[in-house]
Structure 1
Amino acid sequence: MSIRRSDWKYILLMFLVFKILTSCQAQAPSEKINGISLVASRDKITSQDITPILNVNANTVAVMPFAFLEGLSSPDLKFNLELQWYGERREGAREAIQLLQNSGLKVMLKPQIWIRRGEFTGAINMSSEKDWVLFEQYYRDFIMLFASLAQEQQIDYFSIGTELHGFVKTRPEFWIALIAEIRTIYKGNLTYAENWDKIEEVPFWKSLDFIGVDAYFPLNEGKSPSLSELRTAWAPHKSVLKNLSKTVDKPILFTEYGYRNIDFATKAPWDSSRDIAGNNNELQADALEALYAEFWFEPWFAGGFLWKWHHDHELAGGLENNQFTPQNKPAESVVKLFYGGLLRN
């Protein structure tokens, strides 16, 4: 008997559900942030777009408006413009936040920068003092625009930046002043999302409420490591995070975490190259399960935001898609079952 291609999705999902249910030994702490990162949409979203988020038992959503730079040394930060996608602007972010809150979901507002050609934001470096001052003013205006929105909408969490190591290292006084100014208008919880390899170099963790980590830690160089191998591979990174939390006396929050459904997905989890071919749905699912089992039961760990989720759920992801989203892949069942309270520890 032949199996139709359309049947494979159902078979894989049922296998994964069986695998997790038969290994469940403990419940995930309900107070954790069970978050997803919602990609900014080109057009308005509706309450129907929120239903799939509720269906995976998430309790918090990161809304991510964007600003844009022409290059790593360009001070002219552009944001909240009509030519941007609706979800990248203040108006679109507000409408998304209201829809999420009306559905009982908490929100983290997480403004971010996109640099032309996808260059890494951590390498931003102005060529003169004049340009640094100008860039700081643009960035301050960008963040305060959304900090005021966070207070207006009574948002639970606000991120003051994402993966800006060079900016932070070069201009620490600016960041201390920015945090103080944000605190004058926003009364919720503050974090900053730093790349996994620079988290010990951030000078202002004690001024925030959470240590934000974009958790793309390299785990295993194998093509398809097992769940047990992945859990073991977390040990050194987990030790660093636990010690940092203790030193700073702040909980760790994974401001981003996720894996692609490809071979070698845990070798360099940050790799978003479009020229990678092939799929490995089981590895994506196992990598998420390993992360949940290793962190969500720790008292010093606050939770995290899955990277990433598209509003048009029916069209997103799928078994042939090998990008980060778990949507319509076996990994989606891992998220749903874990966020719903089931996973072995």
Structure 2
Amino acid sequence: MRAIFVFCLLILSVGCAQPAKLTKINGVSFVAHRDSVNQKHIKPVVNLNANYAAIMPFGFIRDLNHPEIVFNTNRQWFGETRTGVKQYIFQLKKEGIKTMVKPQIWVGRGMFTGFIKLKTEAEWAVFEASYTDFILQFAEVAQETNAEIFCIGTELEGFVDSRPAFWFGLIKKVKAIYKGKLTYAANWNEFNRTPFWEALDFIGIDAYFPVSDSKTPTVEACLHGWKKHKADILTVQQANNKPVLFTEFGYRSVDYSGRKPWVSDRDMNQVNLQAQVNTTEALFKTFWDEPWFAGGFVWKWFVNHNDVGGENNHQFTPQNKPVEALIKNEYAKKRHYKL
């Protein structure tokens, strides 16, 4: 009788199994370099208390209407190529850093990838074949290197909106090659209409949401600015029952950093270190303790730590700025999410 009782308890415990509790993803967007990396380049990532790095191989197209992607050539920087991605992952894993492989497209003259939209069915066919080749080659790399996460695309809203069937087919092809976790990096204003979240493991968002119009936004103002966006994110999260991952997040150290966080124009050049700190602190306070929030990758982290960033820099990198200490402290906290 006792054996039957124990057996029934086991059955009940399996039936009521809780979601897996996993360590929060505290990541950096590890920018490709012309050379290989070594322990010296990885140590600052470890010192930040990061546990993940996004590795970003690039493919290039001439303009928004050009259907062929050029990638993995000897004219590219080493870190953008297949060999370079493997070398970066190998070095990061030696230091205990997990990885997400995140292939991205660069459009000539820096035009926004979300506007890619081919004119004819024939051009779409060429582009889809080229993109499939690009993604599957790096899915192979992710599998060969045991990368923990693979991202199938970044900020391609026009492509996704126009060709949803292609993406469902691509996901099946990726899953035939790569056996880890999958996501897509949706832009902040496209994630709520991305059609294939149910087929992936994370709802990926490049989190450049506007949160304040102030020159130096306060933490409190940014917390208020996040309320509607957080509610929208939670609606999508609950509809798909998948954790949310900020595939990119961050702010420039510049005046009005919370107004249009996606803007990288060089004419915005008034350094404001406190604005970067306040906007970043509000983001952590809003999301990092939520059990449905998996974590994120700060944009962006350069290889040669001592030579970048600093208190006169008005770009995104947190390196050698006051916000670096904030991120280091937040990443040190023991937080979890459920998958």
Q: Please indicate, yes or no, whether the TM-score normalized by the shorter chain is above 0.5.
A: yes
Amino acid across the alignment from 1:180: K
- Equivalent in the alignment of 1:295: 287
2:171 is aligned with 1:212: no
2:274 is aligned with 1:282: yes
What is the aligned counterpart of 1:137 among 120, 126, 129?
A: 129
2:60 is aligned with 1:96: no
What is the aligned counterpart of 2:258 among 261, 266, 276?
A: 266
| Alpha carbons 2:192, 2:233 under 8 Å: kept | no
- Equivalent in the alignment of 2:111: 119
- Equivalent in the alignment of 1:247: 239
Unaligned runs of 5+ in 2: 1-20
| Alpha carbons 1:56, 1:332 under 8 Å: kept | yes
Amino acid across the alignment from 2:148: D
Q: How far apart are 1:30 and its partner, in Å?
A: 7.5
Distance (Å, rounded) in 1 between the aligned partners of 2:45 and 2:279: 21
Count residues with an aligned counterpart.
315
Q: How far apart are 1:128 and its partner, in Å?
A: 1.1
Q: How far apart are 1:275 and its partner, in Å?
A: 1.6
- Equivalent in the alignment of 2:69: 77
Distance (Å, rounded) in 2 between the aligned partners of 1:297 and 1:262: 27
2:225 is aligned with 1:233: yes
With structure 2 as the length reference, what TM-score do the two structures score? 0.91
Distance (Å, rounded) in 1 between the aligned partners of 2:288 and 2:282: 10
- Equivalent in the alignment of 2:54: 62
Amino acid across the alignment from 1:242: L
Q: How far apart are 1:234 and its partner, in Å?
A: 0.7
- Equivalent in the alignment of 2:13: none
| Alpha carbons 2:100, 2:147 under 8 Å: kept | yes
Distance (Å, rounded) in 2 between the aligned partners of 1:129 and 1:244: 31
| Alpha carbons 1:255, 1:305 under 8 Å: kept | yes
Q: What per-residue deviation string (whole Å, max 9, x for no partner) do you get for residues 183-209 of structure 1?
A: 111110000001001111111110000
RMSD (Å), alpha carbons? 1.2
| Alpha carbons 1:30, 1:341 under 8 Å: kept | no
Helix, strand or coil: the match of 1:87?
Answer: helix
Q: What per-residue deviation string (whole Å, max 9, x for no partner) do you get for residues 115-157 of structure 1?
A: 0100000000112111110011110000000000111111110
Distance (Å, rounded) in 2 between the aligned partners of 1:30 and 1:37: 21
2:187 is aligned with 1:191: no
Q: How far apart are 1:318 and its partner, in Å?
A: 0.6
Helix, strand or coil: the match of 1:298?
Answer: coil
Unaligned runs of 5+ in 1: 1-28
- Equivalent in the alignment of 1:336: 328
Identity %: 48
| Alpha carbons 2:255, 2:275 under 8 Å: kept | yes
What is the aligned counterpart of 1:108 among 77, 82, 100?
A: 100
